[in-house]
Structure 1
Amino acid sequence: MAGAYAASSYSGHSTSPHAPPGPAPEPSSPGWSRWRRLGPGALTALGILPASVAAWLLSLRGVRLDRMGDLGLLQVLPVLFWVALALLTLGFCVAAGDRRTPHGCFAAYVLALVAVLHATPPLLYQELRYSWAWKHVAVIDAMVRHNGEVPDAGGFTIYNQWPGFFELNASLLRATGLESAVGYAVWAQLLANVVLLGPLLLIYRSITSNRRLIWGAVWIYYSCSWVGQDYFAPQAFTFLLFASVVALVVRQLPSSGSPGTRAPREGWPVGRLTLVLVIEAAIVCSHQLTPLMLISALLLLSLPRRNRRVTLPALGGAVVLTMAWDATVARPYVSGNLHSFLDALTQPEANIWSGVSRLAEAAPSQVMVSWIERGLSGSVLLLAVIGLAARGWTRRTPLPWLMLFPFPLVMVNAYGGEMVFRAYMFALPAAALLVTALLLPSGGRRLPARMLGVYVLLLAMIGSLVFGYYSKEAMNRFSSDEVAATRFATTRTPTGSLIISVTFAVPGLETHYDRHERAEIIEESPSTKRLLLRDPLAGLEPLVGRAGNKPAYVLLNRAQTADLRLSNELPAGFVGRLESALAEATDFTVVYRNDDAVVYRFDPPREGRPG
């Protein structure tokens, strides 16, 4: 075990017990002294970093977003972008190969990686990406308008029962005077990943003081975090809080101490435990899944007897808070879905394979992307298991429990087919350090041959990540024209109107969800879909009929076409066929049109209902 921490005793600083006699003719500043202590690898890395960042920024000029196809941004980003990523990874490997590389150099590389991966879309796009992010902005807007719980929320009542994330943002809007969260939601992914660096570092530094292992784990985490739940959403918010609780708990565990690290105190200081309980309360009131993940993590961390003085108070707090919330505020949702929860318990194999089984419906390009994502996940977990077996010191840390805890929940509930991917997301922080322990030398010597292999592997990881992150941008990106059309449909139509779309790929379709009804064709029954495919106008009749005496509108946009092309839930040309049919129909009138979207109003015959 001592060998694993052989490099942890250096700090990158040296002191001289004697000052030179007499006045120093050529005084050297502290900054110059630090530069002189840097090794050749660190100096080289510091030269590569600005070159890679400059290449990335230059690559974003003149990107033709309108040329995106089935692989999204991957098809339109220029070669220089990929050169920048490869150069950035090379510089990090050079830095990791030098034992004298300071923390600041590693931090700069990690922040540059986060910027390249997560600032690229907002720098390229005019509008907020992801329809779900727009949906969450709409919920915040509604809570601001109603000063809290939103009445007549329909299917959105779940957000009234877990309002923490939304109320926090609503309070921010009230305090700052901002009209909407859209302006900062654009940068939510970048901000979430930058802030997450703090808890990650606290976890890793509680387990080892070897800076190569610490920063290597951080780099691998960001290189393999493909699940894409870091956008403007309660999951991103509560995952950050979850990581913070885990970091505080791990910091306090007696099993987290390692040679060269501060020995933690037993038990909890009152102030720190209070902070943990406050964070747990924020998690419990903001998301359904994350409290269960937290309870599972704390439960497994409690298995070693020596940990229990630390873990049991935190575990007890999480259990009590979750049960209290679910029995009161969230009781309508819990009681209404109790039967489905119990059914899921009896079908563990269906829960595990639910996400994979949907691949048969997707476009060939997306099937390929899905297998790349699954290959990355499987490879990371396999390397982590090998690292656990090969590096004995890791088995005396919390890492095994922090990697295993999400997977029992996979067998309990499918979570809409996403549970296995959420489990990977929650296991990744621990898995990243285990992979790093396997790949990076633990001693102080540079091993060029090994670092070359590590470089190739890190490139493969990032290459797999970008498939998951950028391949669906044809449906995730929205133009200003699409936003304008949706704003017209949701704000310029009478209260109670029914707004029909083909898919959910609409920016802000849920705006004023308490004032309008919505219908998505892909959510209809198979028989209705078959009728729509045979005769789009005949298939629309039962949908517009739901409006009763209220107006009905059909909203079509470019992203919905891309959505169908990627998902294959309906033929890719269906949106075009529907628009052609509406254009020729006498009882549908264009009320708004631009280059990327069109809105039709249903005008029934005079003997029918009023328009």
Structure 2
Amino acid sequence: MVTLREEREAPPSAEPPARVRPVPRDRAVVALVVSFLAGLALYWVPLRGVDLAAMNGYGLVSVLPIATLAGAFVLVVTFFATLALDRPRRALLAVQLVALVCALHGLAPALEELARPPTAWQHLGFVEYITRTGEPHVMLDARYSWPGFFAAAGFVTRAAGIEDLEPIMHWSPVGLELLYLVAYYLVLRVMWADWRAKWTAAWLLVAADWVGQDYFAPQGLGFVLYLLLLGILLNWFMPHRDEPAWRPGRRRFPFGPAGLMTPGERRVGHPGPGERTAAFAVALGIFAITVATHQLTPYLMLFAVTGLVLVGRCALRGLPILMAVLTASWIGYMAKAYWEGQSDSLFSGIGNLFDTLGSSVAGRVTKSSAELAAVQQTRILIAVAVVSLAFCGLYRRRRRRFDDRAAMVLLLVPFLAIGLQNYGGEITLRVYLFVLPGACLLMAYLFFPTAFPVARPVRAAGAAAVCGLLVAGSFLFVRFGNENFEQVRPGEVQAFHEMLRQAPQGRINLVWQTGLKGPMGAFPQAPWGLSSQERWDYTELQAPRRPEDIRPILNALKRQPGGYFLTTRSNEEYNHYFFALPEDYGPRLVKALESSPELRPVFRHRDADVFALRTQPGPAPQVTPPLPFEVGRTAWTQVGVLSTVLLTIVLVTREVARIRGRLPRRGAHPVLRGFGYATWPLVALCLFVIFERFHVLGS
């Protein structure tokens, strides 16, 4: 105290203080900022001259200027050079991360006039129908059985007075990726790791996400909710270290040596019972929204939460049972229109692991275009490399005696979804997407394995930069490899609006061609169903070898009144690259349609052409009114609904009691102990009723 007082009262020196020289590290920050701005200019300015019509089978990367690729190189290098500094420059790193999102996921939105891909416009049609009618059309499309996303989008846009959703659809990839990062922050926050590892994991999550599920779709929102749920559980419900799951012991762990292990996660803060109860309510609400929004995401949430509970990283031991009850109840009661009459096909994919892998991996590689096949094969290689590097990072952390149970759960449990269903041949893509949070974290540990700053940050950041360049370069190569037929051209949207204008009432039979032999059961590469979805019928025709043979088209138009034949440049490109139709097939087909005396042009555009019969065979069929939604009745349905409600109340009560410390290991309150005795009989009754409904209504 005397020393401090003397120092405080010491007279000021007569000499002026010496001018402090700039620290070299500040010069490095300035150089990084200048390099970053130069990289942004190199990346974006040359894109003004890009000609999308010049794309070849490699997609968008084939028309990117060399300067843009050089700018991407600079952006990657400057980010990892920032990680080599002695302390985190959070503002600079955050700006670089946002710039990466805009550069990678905003590339196609910046170059194309309309939102992509065509599926986004189908979802716009779902929103339009629910907003117009006030209810989902469950018999029209299976996705109407999970209407949460579409109903919420319609409600929010109507409340905000937004009439045109296209700008939101257009930039949804950038917006959703930013939301991914915000939610991922909650997961990274609890990890016992160097700050460089956390920033690297966030960077990799953006750069390695080439799957393309961040468009205007329920899956993108579902992934945000998935990350939010995990972040809430890890931040507010991490068990105390004095519990058995946290107590290190001398035992041999896989991928590492025997001895004391340090948990790879840490408790953040000291939330009280009230705060944890509120967090539990939010987590339960997130899951309930997801159950009503998407078919697949609730199962992946259930797998991940169960894994965290089993490895001792989540204290809500009854939450997996509650999640399973909510998921099964929605499927059994609210999604009856989805599985009614087809229960055999619904469960046919369970356990068919090799068939699912064959159709969703090797089956997705085209044999008709060497360029497109190279893009698709590279996607497989990237997925294998990401998972392999994640295991290498896990091994290196194990060598440092870190027990990364949460990261292992996030990496491994999504693979369980492969045994559920083929999911239209896309299940491996969805698995890769949900693997990324755990894989990116473990990949970052490969370069920064300890919980403290590394001794040689420049060397580690340099190695990470090499990996980052490979990841970002592969992203530009594979992310937009399908852009020839996944972009939505303005004329294609205008074509559908013109058909609706010329056919103000009745059903519309849309005839189109595919290069696949036999019924494909799919739809044209076009923004079909963007409005008035209940009015459209779709008739697919196998394209003949000679496009001049238009007899199948004429016959299809004559079989049903109110028919139109549509050909779009996107659909023609799809038939060329996937089914090896000649490159000039589309122009030759349009020329043959023009010369036919039985057809009249309805819409002509460089992007699409629509033709109809000059003389219609009769009036267009009337639109069939939708059937009202119903849960469906069986002998046990009412009992099942009542038991589900009671079971939900019991499970929620027990979890709240556990959070508030009312469930000691021994001597619990008699009422709560009675709730515990009632759990399993109610679970058995709920399962019995759901299976009874599948047997009675699904057969």
State TM-score, norm by structure 1.
Answer: 0.87
Give, in angstroms, the shift of residue 475 of structure 1.
1.4
* Residue in structure 2 matching 1:246, options 230, 235, 248: 230
Q: 1:84 aligns with which of 66, 71, 77?
A: 71
Whether contact under 8 Å (2:550, 2:593) holds in the other structure is: yes
Distance (whole Å) between structure 1 residues aligned to residue 15 and residue 341 of structure 2: 78
- Counterpart residue identity of residue 491, structure 2: D
Given that 2:114 and 2:170 are in contact with CA atoms closer than 8 Å, whether structure 1 keeps it comes out as: yes
TM-score, normalised via structure 2 length: 0.76
Q: Aligned equivalents of 1:330 and 1:21: distance in 2?
A: 80
Residue of structure 2 aligned with 1:318, choices 320, 323, 326: 323
Unaligned runs of 5+ in 1: 1-17, 522-528
Go from structure 1 to structure 2 and tell me whether the alpha carbon gap of 1:286 and 1:62 turns closer, same or farther (over 3 Å shift): same
* CA 236–146 in structure 1, closer or farther in 2 if over 3 Å, else same: same
Task: State the match for 2:642 in structure 1.
Answer: none
Q: Give the aligned partner of residue 466 of structure 1.
A: 476
Is 1:73–2:60 an aligned residue pair? yes
**Superposition CA RMSD, Å:** 3.0
Aligned partner of 2:335 among 330, 333, 344: 330
Q: 1:232 is matched with which residue?
A: 216
CA distance, structure 2, for counterparts of residue 461 and residue 22 of structure 1: 60
- Counterpart mapping for 1:343-358 below 5 A: 343-355=348-360, 356-358=362-364
- 1:264 and 1:245 map into 2 onto residues whose CA distance is 19
> The residue matched to 2:611 in structure 1 has which SS?
strand
Q: CA deviation at 1:590?
A: 0.5
Q: 1:337 to 1:264 in 2, by over 3 A?
A: farther
Q: Which moved more, 1:267-276 or 1:373-382?
A: 267-276
2:161 is aligned to: 177
What is residue 296 of structure 2 aligned with on the other side? 289
Match of 1:272 in 2: 279
- Label 1:573 to 1:482 Cα distance change in 2 as closer, same or farther (>3 A): same
Amino acid at match of 1:514: E
Equivalents in 1 of 2:268, 2:364: separation in Å? 48
When structure 1 is superposed on structure 2, of 473-482 and 502-511 the one drifting more is 502-511
User: In the TM superposition, what whole-angstrom CA distance separates every residue of 1:344-370 from its partner, at most 9, and x where no partner exists?
Assistant: 125221011212223144521111001
**Which one is further off, 323-332 or 429-438?**
323-332
Structure 1 match to 2:135: 148
Distance in 1 (CA, whole Å) between partners of 2:265 and 2:295 is 39
Q: Determine if contact 2:234/2:314 at 8 Å carries over to the other structure.
A: no
C-alpha separation in 1, matches of 2:387 and 2:460: 21
Which residue pairs with 2:347 in the alignment?
342
Matches of 1:507 and 1:583, distance apart in 2? 24
1:253 is displaced (CA, Å) by: 1.9
CA shift for structure 1 position 343:
2.0
Conserved in 2, the CA contact under 8 Å of 1:133 and 1:232?
Answer: yes
**2:324 maps to amino acid:** V
1:385 and 2:395 correspond: no
Normalized per residue, the structure richer in helix is 1
Which amino acid is the alignment partner of residue 106 of structure 2? A
Q: Any idea what the Cα deviations from partners look like across 1:15-70, whole Å, max 9, x if unmatched?
A: xxx88977899999xxxx9x969666544333322221222221222222221222
Structure 2 residue matching 1:328: 3-state secondary structure: helix
The whole-number CA distance in structure 2 between the counterparts of 1:25 and 1:168 is 70
Q: Distance in 2 between matches of 1:26 and 1:187?
A: 60
Distance 1:213 1:188 in 2: 28
2:371 pairs with one of 365, 376, 401: 365
Question: 1:599-610 counterparts in 2 under 5 A?
Answer: 599-604=610-615, 608-609=617-618
Asked if the contact 1:536/1:577 (under 8 Å) is kept, the reply is: no
Taking the aligned partners of 1:552 and 1:163, their CA distance within structure 2 comes to 30
In structure 2, the partner of 1:187 is 171
Counterpart code for 1:107: A
The count of aligned residue pairs is: 574
> Which one is further off, 272-281 or 314-323?
314-323
Are the structure 2 counterparts of residues 579 and 339 from structure 1 closer, same or farther at C-alpha, using a change threshold of 3 Å? Answer: same
Cα distance in structure 2, aligned partners of 1:20 and 1:518: 89
Instruction: Describe the shift of the 1:429–1:260 C-alpha distance in structure 2 as closer, same or farther (beyond 3 A).
Output: closer
- Corresponding residue for 1:160? 144
**What SS class does the counterpart of residue 198 from structure 2 fall into?**
helix
Contact 2:604-2:610 at 8 Å conserved across structures: yes
**CA offset digits 1:75-104 (Å, max 9, x no partner):** 211111111110011101111112313222
Q: Does structure 1 conserve the Cα–Cα contact (< 8 Å) formed by 2:190 and 2:266?
A: no
Report if aligned partners of 1:299, 1:315 keep a CA contact under 8 Å in 2. Answer: yes
- Per-residue CA deviation, residues 473-531 of structure 1 (Å, 9 max, x unaligned), is 1212233233222221234324312122336221344421112222343xxxxxxx265
Change in 2 beyond 3 A, CA 1:57/1:78: same
- Deviation at residue 143 of structure 1 after TM alignment: 1.2
Tell me, yes or no, if the aligned pair for 1:486 and 1:506 is still in contact at 8 Å: no
Could you list the runs of 4 or more consecutive aligned residues of structure 1 that deviate by over 6 angstroms after TM superposition? 18-28
Q: Distance in 1 between matches of 2:16 and 2:540?
A: 73
Give the percent of matched residue pairs that are identical in Structure 1 and Structure 2.
24
Q: Which residue of 1 aligns with 2:628?
A: none
- Residue 381 of structure 2 is aligned to residue 375 of structure 1: yes
Equivalent of 1:576 in 580, 587, 594: 587
Shift of 1:316: 2.9
Measured after TM superposition, the shift of residue 282 of structure 1 is 0.8
Cα contact 1:351–1:417 (8 A) shared by 2: yes
Shift in Å, 1:303: 1.5
CA distance in 2, matches of 1:585, 1:281: 56
Read off the aligned partner of 2:446 and give its amino acid letter: L
Between the aligned partners of 2:347 and 2:57, the Cα distance in structure 1 is 39
The structure whose Rg is larger is 2
Q: Deviations over 1:371-411 (max 9, x none)?
A: 11111110110011111122125534311111100112212
SS of the equivalent of 1:514 reads helix
C-alpha contact (below 8 Å) 1:223/1:461 kept by paired residues = yes
Deviations along 1:198-243, whole A, 9 cap, x unmatched? 1111101111352101100011111111111111101001111111
Q: Are 1:454 and 2:459 an aligned pair? A: no
The question of whether the paired residues in 1 share the 8 Å contact of 2:190 and 2:265 is answered with no
Secondary structure of the residue aligned to 1:344 is coil
Distance 2:13 2:614 in 1: 91
* Residue number in structure 2 paired with 1:262: 268
- Equivalent-residue separation in structure 2 for 1:111 and 1:67 (angstroms): 29
Alignment check: 8 A CA contact 2:104 2:207 kept: no
In structure 1, what residue type is equivalent to 2:196? R
Aligned partner letter, 2:294: H
SS for the counterpart of 1:172 is helix
Q: Which residue of 1 aligns with 2:573?
A: 562
Alpha carbons 1:344, 1:351 under 8 Å: kept: yes
2:65 matches 1:62: no
Give the direction of change, closer, same or farther, for the CA distance of 1:585–1:232 in structure 2 (3 Å limit).
Answer: same
Is the partner of 1:506 in helix, strand or coil?
coil
Residue 536 to residue 41, structure 1, CA distance change in 2 (3 Å): farther
Q: Hey, what does 1:514 align to over in structure 2?
A: 534
Partner of 1:410: 418
Distance 1:21 1:144, change over 3 A: farther
